[in-house]
Amino acid sequence: MAPSNGMSYRVVQLGKESRARPINPGYFFVAPAILFFAALAILPTLYVFYLSFFSSPRGQVTNRFFVGLQNYVDALSLSKLAPVVSHTLVFAIGSSLFHLLFGFLLALYLNSRLNFHFLNAVRALLLLPWAISPAVVSMVWRLLSHPQISPIGILLSGLNPEWVWTPLASTKTALLTLTGINVWHFTPFYMLMILAGLQAIDPTLYEVAKIDGASAFQEVWYVTIPQVRRLLFTLGLFDFVTTAVYFDLIWITTHGGPVGSSEVLATFVYRQAFLSFDFGRASAIAMLLFVVAITLSSIGVMVMERE
């Protein structure tokens, strides 16, 4: 008779032997939450996929009709899509590279100052930008970019009336400014993740490197980077995917302007859906973006498994 101690058992075949292994009852407790959050992720995606095959007259969401793949054809043939994709790539790649670069450098500094008396205070100050909500960050930087309100704008106009401080109002600087703001906002998160990876490195590796006469740069290049390479790759992939669909900062500060110079896929989809009321085409673009994100994530997982 099977033991009746309140735990379920399953038989696991190990070569020619078999034994009963208890199933962790914790799975039964977390299953409802997992199913709930899975439903929140899967059901909206399925609904967007469903909407991508339909079209409706402007403002008449319930009066839709089946158009097959026409929304996908129309989306890919949009003349505005190419610059939007290029803006998204510039924003995502630029943000990801500088997030990892500055995050790595700051993590190296903090990791080398573990005995510093004010380390916790310095770490708290560095984490402060990340603790601020994206909406607040967007509004603050929007004010700081105003030529008549910003201290920088007032200073420049005082030095020379012809110097106008409009980093978010210029087609040449809007996207680069948004990239810089995004780097400032989220670098602390990546610093924290990389710092955790650095503190997990075996200290004996550095001791051996010092015995061999390695310089500080050589320790970083030959010891630190190889040890956190997988972490950096994972963070970079995660950063690129999440930044490519980032909406809050760009919409609140510039609405994708001026003249579409900072329009990215997230704001473009929003504009198609809630300003043009073309939910079918917006859903098609969203699904294309979803496929790209899943593909990149899958490639990343395969690369990590091969290593």
**One-letter-per-residue 3-state SS of the chain:** CCCCCCCCEEEEEECCEEEEEECCCHHHHHHHHHHHHHHHHHHHHHHHHHHCCEECCCCCCCCCEECCCHHHHHHHCCCCHHHHHHHHHHHHHHHHHHHHHHHHHHHHHHHCCCCCCCHHHHHHHHHHHHHCCHHHHHHHHHHHCCCCCCHHHHHHHHHCCCCCCCCCCCCCCHHHHHHHHHHHHHHHHHHHHHHHHHHCCCHHHHHHHHHCCCCHHHHHHHHHHHHHHHHHHHHHHHHHHHHHCCCHHHHHHCCCCCCCCCCCHHHHHHHHHHHCCCHHHHHHHHHHHHHHHHHHHHHHHHHHHHC
Residue extents of the structural domains in the chain: 1-51, 81-262
pLDDT at 59: 62
Average pLDDT score over residue span 124-129: 88
Angle 72-75-81 from CA coordinates, rounded to 5°: 145
Average pLDDT score over residue span 234-248: 93
Question: 276 pLDDT exceeds 90?
Answer: no
Query: CATH class for domain 81-262?
Result: mainly alpha
Q: Kindly state the percentage of the chain with pLDDT values over 70.
A: 91
pLDDT tens digits for range 179-190: 999 999 999 999
More confident residue, 61 or 218: 218
Average pLDDT score over residue span 148-154: 84
What is the model's pTM?
A: 0.84
Average pLDDT score over residue span 211-224: 91
pLDDT band at 162 (very low <50, low <70, confident <90, very high): confident
The residue assigned the tokens 């509004």 is 139
pLDDT tens digits for range 68-86: 899 999 888 888 899 999 9
Question: 255 pLDDT exceeds 90?
Answer: yes
Question: 87 pLDDT exceeds 80?
Answer: yes
Question: 38 pLDDT exceeds 70?
Answer: yes
Average pLDDT score over residue span 126-144: 92
Question: 7 pLDDT exceeds 70?
Answer: no
Question: 99 pLDDT exceeds 60?
Answer: yes
pLDDT at 20: 56
Average pLDDT score over residue span 229-242: 92
